[in-house]
Amino acid sequence: MDQVLSVVDSIGNRCPRCGGVLIDKGLRDRLVLESQPLQAKPLLYRFTRKYCPHCRKIFQPLAPGVLPKNLYGNQLVTTATVMHYLHGVPLGRVCEQLQVNPGTLVEGFHRLAHLLASVIPKLIEQYRLAPAKHADETSWRTEGQNGYVWLFATEQISLFLFRKSRSSKIPHMVFGEKALPGVLVVDRYAAYNKAPCPLQYCYAHLLREVEDLEKDFPDSVEVRSFISVMAPLLASAMKLRTQPLLDPEFYAKAADIKNQILAAVQAQAMHLGIRRIQDLFLDNASRLYHWVDNRKVPADNNLAERDLRPTVIARKVSFGSVSDSGANTRGVLMSVLSSLKKQKGNVEVHLKQTLDQLAKDPQKDPFPLLFSKPPIPP
């Protein structure tokens, strides 16, 4: 962090108590962290215009750090976009802090989303190749109508698609028809059943169903006994990836947990609630144990739920999107910003640098500007 040196000398040469002459005792430093207020400030650029008599055209330089035909500079656009779409600050609060017009700012968001729209198909291509893919969805209203936001995520990518439908057409559009590498981690929603890759069901959802048995049948000794065995096994499966184990030890423990789960679901049970859980595990065995054979595949879908949490909060604050174009803009900008945060960290710096490059040449492909990795030093 760059330091700005400011010498403070406001005491004078006389003692403020007795009026005697003060003796110089040198300097003393004190470090204070301060910030500038977030406010839009007008900048007036004066361009040198020159005329070519041969071409019969007037030429002038481009305004630095401003996209073509934009009123707001790239830093202002970046700050507002990150505040609203990444940190979830309400639009009214953003406009109040930056002292800008909401209509003009929203139009700037739409332009930015249009400029970055080509990034989404390339993020989808990267998502398809991931060894562990996650998917989830939650409700989102658009134009006052019920709809959904679909999330397709990895450790490096977050894709948000705001659609009015919850049908399998949305996952099909993302996954395509060709067989994909890796495993897709989901809950048991049927829309993902035709995904062209193996499925791993989320143990967190299964654990909640197991624990709900005790709420529904608190007096059943058999239910309590089953839960005392099954719940710790599911929790251990989810926590196993976080433990600092070498691969041989990890896979040995994973196989042991799997065998104990199989023993629990294959044991004879009289209670119908226990049988339902057992049948769920037995009927879906091909979708429950990929985490045992591949350490990269988690046993839970917590990554997707964490990625969706800010959207759930935004839904409560904003009550959804006013229009389809607003929902599309939100999807593009949230996808770009969230993926950029996962891959680069400092979102505001990298987005500002990208917009500055696009201001010089709007025809450039924004994807390599945003997500290309720096060259490895020799």
Q: Give per-residue pLDDT as tens, 131-143.
A: 999 999 999 998 8
319 vs 350, higher pLDDT: 350
> What's the average model confidence in pLDDT over 27-32?
81
Q: State the pTM of this model.
A: 0.85
Q: What is the pLDDT of residue 377?
A: 38
Q: What is the pLDDT of residue 159?
A: 97
Q: Give per-residue pLDDT as tens, 71-93.
A: 899 999 999 999 999 999 999 99
Report in angstroms the alpha-carbon separations of 350 from 120, 131, 336, 346: 17, 27, 11, 7
Q: What is the pLDDT of residue 378?
A: 35
Distance from C-alpha of 163 to C-alpha of 140, rounded to nearest angstrom: 8
Which band of pLDDT confidence, cut at 50, 70 and 90, is reported for residue 2? low
Q: What is the pLDDT of residue 374?
A: 45
Q: Give per-residue pLDDT as tens, 113-123.
A: 999 999 999 99
Q: What is the pLDDT of residue 3?
A: 66
> CB neighbours (10 Å) of residue 195?
20
> Does residue 316 carry a pLDDT above 80?
yes
What tokens were used for 62? 């481009």
Domain covering 115-199+301-371, topology = Nucleotidyltransferase; domain 5 (3.30.420)
> What's the average model confidence in pLDDT over 319-334?
92
37 vs 156, higher pLDDT: 156
Q: Give per-residue pLDDT as tens, 227-282.
A: 999 999 999 999 999 999 999 999 999 999 999 999 999 999 999 999 999 999 99
Distance from C-alpha of 27 to C-alpha of 25, rounded to nearest angstrom: 7
Tell me the Cα Rg of the chain: 28
Q: What is the pLDDT of residue 222?
A: 95
Q: What is the pLDDT of residue 13?
A: 84
> Does residue 124 carry a pLDDT above 90?
yes
> CB neighbours (10 Å) of residue 362?
12
The full set of domain ranges for the chain reads 115-199+301-371, 203-293
**Residue type for 100, please?**
V
Report in angstroms the alpha-carbon separations of 191 from 1, 128, 132, 166: 49, 17, 18, 8
Residue-wise over 309-331: b if at least 16 C-beta within 10 A, else e? eebeebbeebebbeeeebbbbbb
Percent of the chain with pLDDT over 90: 69
> Does residue 31 carry a pLDDT above 90?
no
> Does residue 19 carry a pLDDT above 90?
no
Q: Give per-residue pLDDT as tens, 335-376.
A: 999 999 999 888 999 999 999 999 988 889 999 999 875 433
